[in-house]
Amino acid sequence: MVSINWVGFPAVQHLRESSELTIHAHRNGWGALSRHPGLGMGFPAYQKLWRLAGMFLMPQGFACLVRSALQRLRRRRPLQGD
């Protein structure tokens, strides 16, 4: 496992060239890059770049899926208790 946001593309390239093992890409710090609409990029573009760099798996994560579903629901109608 490698923390891709902290090591960057050159380190990932070095790992891919020097190892035959599958490398799991951990995207810690993604929340800081994606919370504000004026920062970062969308997840599909971000994921595509890292896959092109040779990362095998980047799960979106259950908490992220729940948060995004709740945001979509709130845009349609306010949840009770909010």
List the chain domain ranges. 2-76
pLDDT digits over 4-17, tens only?
888 989 998 998 89
Distance CA 12, CA 10 (A): 5
- Taking the whole predicted model, whether its pTM rises above 0.85 is answered as no
pLDDT digits over 28-82, tens only?
887 777 777 777 777 788 888 888 888 865 555 655 666 666 777 777 665 566 5
